[in-house]
Amino acid sequence: MTKEEIMGRLYDRYIKPIETKKDSFIGVEIEMPIVNLEHKAVDFEIVHKLTAAFLEEFGFIPTGIDDQGHIYSALNRENGDVFSYDCSYNNMEFSFGRESELHTIHGRFLRYYSFVQNFFKPCNYTLTGMGINPNRLVNNNIPIENGRYKMLFHHLSSFSKYACLPMYFHRYPQFGMFSSASQVQLDVTKETAPQVINTFNQLEPVKALIFNNSVLLHENEELLCCRDMLWENSTHGINPHNVGMYDCEIKTVDDILNYISTTAIYCVERDGKYLNFKPVNILEYFNTDTLTGEYMENDKICSMEFHPRPEDISYLRTFKSEDLTFRGTVEFRSACCQPISDVMTVSAFHLGLLNKTNELADLIKNDRSVYNNGYNASELRRQLVCRELPSFIDTEGLYKLAVAVLDLCESGLKERGFGEEIYLAPLYERVRKHTNPAKTMFERLENGERINDIINDYSEV
C-alpha cells in the first residue's frame, strides 16, 4: 500500500464518521475494583455466580465466554449496556449505551450497582470507588482465560525485551488487572474535534488536581495518580504517541490524521488467534511484507508468520488521554475511578465543558498560577499527580483557576437544560478543601483510620 492509500484508510476510519456528524450523545464507562474485605484474594467462583445472577436479573445476553466457559461480557439488547470484566475478574465494568443526558445513565448505574452490592454483601465483598484495587498485593492478578487477554498480559510482560530502548519500564505488567478508570465518550464534528482534543489536552493538569484517585499503597506513595505512569511506562508506551498526552498543538483535522499516522500497531487476529508483535508504526506496518507474531495455544507461546492486510487497520489501538475514535467520538481516558457517590462527576465535567472550548482555552492562555511558567501541559500533569505541588505554583491561584473551570462547566450544563449540574457539587467541595479522593485517603490513613473504613466510604452511593 502507498502512503496515500494508508492515509485514505485512516481518514475513512477516523475522520469520515465526524464529517456529517449531528449527534450529541454520551457514552459512559465505569470500571470498579472488586474487594474482599477480609483482605484475601477475590474468589472468582463468587464472581462467576454473581455474573449468572446479574444476567438473569437484568436480561443481559452473553457476548464473551472465556476458555473455561465463564462469561466475561454480556449485553442488554434493549439499551446497549454492557456488563463485563476488564482484563481480569478482579475488575468490573459497566458500559452504558449512548444517551442524550446523564440522569438516565445514573439511574441504570444505581440499579446495577445496588444489585451487585446486595449480592456481594453476605460474602463480605464490595465494589468500591478507587482507581487502584487496595487488595492488589493479595489478589490473584491473572488475566481472563482467553487469547486476547492472555496475549495482552504477555505483551505487557515482555518489557525486558526492550532493554535497549531509552525509556523506563515499571514492574507492574499486570496493572490492567488492578487499575480502574472512569471514561466518557462525547460526539464531536469535523469542525469541533481539533479544538476539543487540543483544549482538553491542555486541561489535563487541572483534571489531575481534581480527580486524582489512583494510589499504589505501600509503593510509589508519592503519587496521587499512578494511572499515567502505569500506561506510559509500559510496553504500550514504546511508541509514546500511543499513550498519554499530545506534546504538539492540534489545530486541524489534518493534524489529527497525521498524528494517528505516527502511532504503532502491535496486535492483529488470524484464524481466531490473537497475535502480538513488536509495536511498529502503522505506515511501516503496511509496507512490510511479512511479520512474525506470537499467540497462545494450550498455555504455550507459539510463533506465526503473517502478512499485513488492509483491514488490519481496525486493530490500531491507542490510549491517548483524548482519543478520536472510529465511532465519531472523542474518548476521555485519563480520569481514575471515583468514589461511588461521585460516580457521574467525570462525565458531567467533560460534558459541561464540551461546548465551552473557546472560553476554556482563554482561561488557560491567561493563567499564570500554573500555566505559562516554562512547562508544557504534559510536564505540568506529571507534577500535579504528585502529593506535593511544585514550589513555582501559586496554590491559591491554581485553585481559583479550578473554580473558574468548574463555573464554566456548570454554565455549559445549565445551558443543556437537564439539571446535570448537580453532579458537580462534589468537585466544588474538593476544590474548596484543596483536596481530591487520593489526598483524602492518605490523610485518613495517616490519622490512623482503617483501610476498610475508607473502602466502605468510597463504596457508598
Q: How do residues 207-248 score in pLDDT, each as one tens digit?
A: 999 999 999 999 989 999 999 999 999 999 999 999 999 999
Q: Which residues pair with 295 in a beta bridge?
A: 302
Cα angle at 383 between 379 and 386, to 5 degrees? 150
So what's the architecture of 3-459 in CATH?
Answer: 2-Layer Sandwich (3.30)
Q: Is 370 exposed, middle or buried (CB count within 10 Å of its CB: 0-12, 13-18, 19+)?
A: buried
Q: How far apart are CA 135 and CA 128, in angstroms?
A: 11
- In a 13 Å sphere around the CA of 89, the CA atoms on its Cβ side amount to 24
Q: Is 358 exposed, middle or buried (CB count within 10 Å of its CB: 0-12, 13-18, 19+)?
A: exposed
Kind of pairing, strands 300-306 and 291-297? antiparallel
DSSP per residue over 326-390, as a string?
TTSEEEE--PBP--GGGTTHHHHHHHHHTT-HHHHHHHHHH--SSSSSS--HHHHHHHHTBSSPP
Q: What is the pTM of this model?
A: 0.96
- DSSP class of residue 224 equals S
Distance of CA 141 to the CA centre of its chain: 19
**Sites in the chain below the pLDDT cut of 50:** none
The pLDDT of residue 79 is: 97
The pLDDT of residue 36 is: 98
The domain segmentation of the chain, as residue ranges, is: 3-459
Distant-in-sequence, close-in-space partners of 189: CB < 8 Å, separation ≥ 6: 18, 21, 22
Q: How far apart are CA 196 and CA 185, in angstroms?
A: 12
The pLDDT of residue 271 is: 92
Distant-in-sequence, close-in-space partners of 178: CB < 8 Å, separation ≥ 6: 33, 88, 90, 91, 132, 133, 136, 139, 141
Gyration radius of the chain over CA positions: 22
Q: How far apart are CA 98 and CA 88, in angstroms?
A: 25
CB 209 within 8 A of CB 384: yes
